[in-house]
Structure 1
């Protein structure tokens, strides 16, 4: 487990330096827009909490400004305008960040394609590519084609997922700090719940990587079984016994069964991740409700603070869920990304990344 995590860390650093930083013309604005989207969301919650507090206390909306009552038309209108303005600007920032992330994805995929082609121009012997151990018969031309057609596109997708994880990661970090400031005791209890969830989510992510490796290794055998079935069906000289051979029904081929099962498992592991997130939310809400309801009944906490805590917790949990989903997605494509780097490193004569 520790060795695999270390390998993942090496891959993550390489994706960052070779992908995100290489496309920094667009990736830096993506991070900036993601930060502003986060600031706008939590600022809107802050304005709402400030307004509720002023209504409860009967004080003016802005301290020191007489006549600006919180329940006056001007006070209500000003508060609504600020909240809606912040939420709208945050939503716009998130939209622009996703649009620019698409540019990063496209730009890095094109860079990966050109990198293979440039390496081929300098490589005198591509036969070394055939020696790469990917668990099936390796043909240099086929692997080079896949590195351009498939792996390069996957690299762009992984970079897109990396950038998409920026906002959930920030939301989780900032939300955790705010929750701790609002109520350290409850937040510590929720942290324990979150730590258990992260452990199971990590196991799910590792499982996703293994499933994807099985799918990759069964692709060639499944394709061969399908081709043989078509040839057997199309052959005029095939006897009745031949038509009932294993090639006539590719669904009985072990490689096809393994390939189809792994495809199903790739979708199931995403559902497992969502299930873990759902169970975590149930546990978190239960802990929060029991703790805060008891303290509200004792008069030590106001309902306004409870509502604010719930709102911040919802955004924090969304960040945790989004971050875990991103990690699971990245693990699904780990084998393709590592293979691309190994092919490129082989052509360029660099130290390669173990798949």
Structure 2
């Protein structure tokens, strides 16, 4: 008995936790979408409500006409008396009223639906813009659980696919509000007509909601599984194509592996199973709704019908109850379908808002800014390594890394160096400037790309470049427009000499007030000794970190104060350039010769684009 109680309690707690998280996500997206565009949402909901109202008005008018026709009463309308059973004029008036009501209803619903689609597109664009904006302006980029840092595939999915799904969910939420209001109104009418019977109906609704909940959970689970197996399924398809490319025996003579080993096992089968389960969630929800409808009609006919037969009256109440019940059940069926559809996108919604909430730049620390940092080694695997090293303004750190520097990995690298102090990590990330060998500029004017003030002129840039080295000035005037407010096409920017490009980039670093300047070493190789000396001298009031990978031939050229070796997610050794050279082979054996770069998109995910049509939802 105690075991049964504990199992029930555990299941109840699990259900409660899941329900709370689900409600929190729905509340979050409702606030972020409908409440953000509350004026547009109000117009959409108002016109949708009026459209439904005119439909109900039309049904009410038809019922009223039928009742009056049954009684054979006379009606006065605009000082005219009509005999209902014989008046063609009144029939025409009623017909025109029904026609106008339905036409107005059709236009209002059309207006509401088209505005809803426009708002969905607007919100989807907003979500995609927010992903790209946060990614481009933040130093801490969210990464999924189990990953050290994010990559372009994740950002693409968030901006392209998850943003589209978020827009769909907002559209589905809007499409659920009016049916919800209609359902509440129908329940009110049902309680007014027959409270005990309506209470019994609610009990049936409650029982069906348990099954609807389980269906929704399975839909979300299959959605997660579908994403999990999509990449593997794509890879298997590629392997099938490559294998067939080299097989000389025609497939009909060599078909056993094709049918049994390819589509009956592995990621392809799991992918299709998950996709089927996700699609079936809607149909399962519809099945439960239809069973509920059948059970409800049976109970009503059995209870109200027998009461009417015994009393010989009450047929009018039965009609009213059935009409109200019809509205209630139809709208409940629609709500169940929408809720199940929304829940299928729960993993994507959760991932999107995790990115939004956790992709940030730590706020700048003004009053209590960290000026001295300390790098510590995690292990003592290399002889002669320093246990710790303090760095401050003017210090040059050489980092041997197996992780390529970019916006994804910046926070990861800083955390590996300073992770023992969260305050130090946040302070460094709030005041950091970095440059990779693939230094890009924004697609705007030259002034905007360099972040130059309005009073800064072309002659000022020429003076700065000439101060670096005379030869760079000739390249500047020959390769770039002499108007800072002119746009520089990406193709032209990519063709200018590397030493000029990186010099212009480092001038940006000098103009900034950033405490940390992080540079890829291979970007500095194009500099002459004079250019390198110029920038190293100007950066003497910053903490400069130069990141190298497998090529360490130029280490001594930058006069580093310390060489730090990072493997995976920890610092495994520190020391002088001499120490590094003496232990270079051992370090290579530990770190590896090839840097761990951002994964290339070798295959296209099956679900990399639009996997669901709106009719499925």
TM-score normalised according to structure 1 size: 0.86
Q: Does residue 119 of the first structure (1) align with residue 134 of the second (2)?
A: yes
In structure 2, stretches of 5+ residues that fail to align are: 1-14, 249-254, 363-617
Whether contact under 8 Å (1:38, 1:170) holds in the other structure is no
Hey, what's the Cα distance between the residues in 2 that align with 1:349 and 1:302? Answer: 69
2:198 corresponds to 1:183: no
Aligned to 2:52: 38
Change over 3 Å in CA distance of 1:300–1:66 after alignment to 2: farther
Partner of 1:101: 116
Name the stretch that deviates more: 138-147 or 168-177.
138-147
> How many angstroms does 1:160 deviate by?
0.9
| Matched residue, 1:198 | 209
Q: Which has the larger displacement, 137-146 or 276-285?
A: 137-146
Counterparts of 1:83 and 1:189 in 2: how far apart (Å)? 35
Residue 228 of structure 1: aligned partner: 239
Question: Residue 26 of structure 1 aligns with which residue?
Answer: 40
Asked whether 1:287 is paired with 2:299, we answer yes
1:304 to 316, 321, 325: 316
- 1:13 paired to 2:36: no
Pick closer, same or farther for the CA change 1:188–1:101 going to 2, 3 Å.
Answer: same
C-alpha separation in 1, matches of 2:244 and 2:334: 47
Which residue of structure 1 lines up, in the alignment, with residue 325 of structure 2? 313
Deviates more, 1:334-343 or 1:43-52: 43-52
Deviation >4 Å, runs of 4+? 62-66, 136-139, 243-246
Given candidates 257, 261, 278, the residue that maps to 2:269 is 257
Identify which range, 304-313 or 26-35, moves more after superposition.
304-313
In structure 1, how many angstroms separate the alpha carbons of the residues matched to 2:361 and 2:24?
Answer: 18
- Decide which moves more: 93-102 or 299-308: 299-308
Give per-residue Cα distances to partners, 1:72-92, cap 9 Å, x unaligned: 333333333333433332233
Q: Distance in 2 between matches of 1:104 and 1:210?
A: 29
CA deviations over 1:85-130 (Å, ceiling 9, x no partner): 333322332222111110111001100111011112212354x52x
Q: What secondary structure is seen at the aligned counterpart in 2 of 1:120?
A: helix
Q: Is the 8 A contact 2:220 2:278 kept in 1?
A: no
Matches within 5 A, 1:328-339: 328-339=340-351
Q: Which moved more, 1:149-158 or 1:25-34?
A: 25-34
- Correspondences of 1:40-119 after superposition (within 5 Å): 40-61=54-75, 67-71=81-85, 72-119=87-134
How far did 1:327 drift?
Answer: 0.3
- SS of the residue corresponding to residue 73 of structure 2 reads coil
- The two structures, once aligned, show a CA RMSD in angstroms of 3.1
CA distance 1:68–1:181, shift in 2 (3 Å): farther
Distance 1:186 1:18 in 2: 40
CA–CA separation in structure 2 for the residues paired with 1:200 and 1:282:
16
Choose between structure 1 and 2: higher helix proportion.
1
Higher relative contact order (CA 8 A, sep 6+): 1
CA distance in 1, matches of 2:302, 2:73: 31
The answer on whether the counterparts of 1:45 and 1:308 sit within 8 Å (CA) in structure 2 is no
Paired residues, what number? 344
How far did 1:335 drift? 0.6
| Cα deviation digits, residues 161-183 of structure 1 (max 9, x gap) | 11111222122111111222223
Alignment pair present for 1:267 and 2:279: yes
Matched, 1:207 2:218: yes
Kept after mapping to 1: 8 A contact 2:289/2:333: yes
Deviations 1:226-278 (A, max 9, x none): 233333333589xxxxx9989x9542442222111011111222211111111
Shift of 1:284: 1.0
Sort the Cα spacing of 1:146 and 1:101 in 2 relative to 1 into closer, same or farther, 3 A. same
Contact 2:139 2:360 survives alignment (8 Å): no
Matches of 2:91 and 2:321, distance apart in 1: 22
**Per-residue CA distance 1:205-241 (angstroms, 9 max, x = gap):** 122111111112222222222233333333589xxxx
Q: 1:288 to 1:271 in 2, by over 3 A?
A: same
Question: 1:118-174 CA distances to partner (integer Å, 9 max, x unpaired)?
Answer: 112212354x52xx227x897511100111111111111111111111222122111
> Quick check: 2:139–2:361 contact (8 Å CA) kept in 1?
no
Cα–Cα, structure 1 residues 137 and 323, in superposed 2: closer, same or farther, change >3 Å?
farther
Counterpart secondary structure, 1:68: strand
Separation of aligned partners in 2, 1:105 and 1:41: 25
Distance 1:100 1:281, change over 3 A: same
The answer to whether the 8 A contact 1:33-1:93 is kept is: yes
Change (3 A) 1:174 1:297: same
Q: TM-score, normalised by structure 2?
A: 0.51
Report the more deviating stretch, 222-231 or 152-161.
Answer: 222-231
Which residue of structure 1 aligns with residue 372 of structure 2?
none
Q: Indicate the structure with greater strand content.
A: 2
Distance (Å, rounded) in 2 between the aligned partners of 1:195 and 1:75: 46
Quote the offset at 1:304 in angstroms: 3.2
**Could you say what secondary structure the match of 1:30 adopts?**
helix
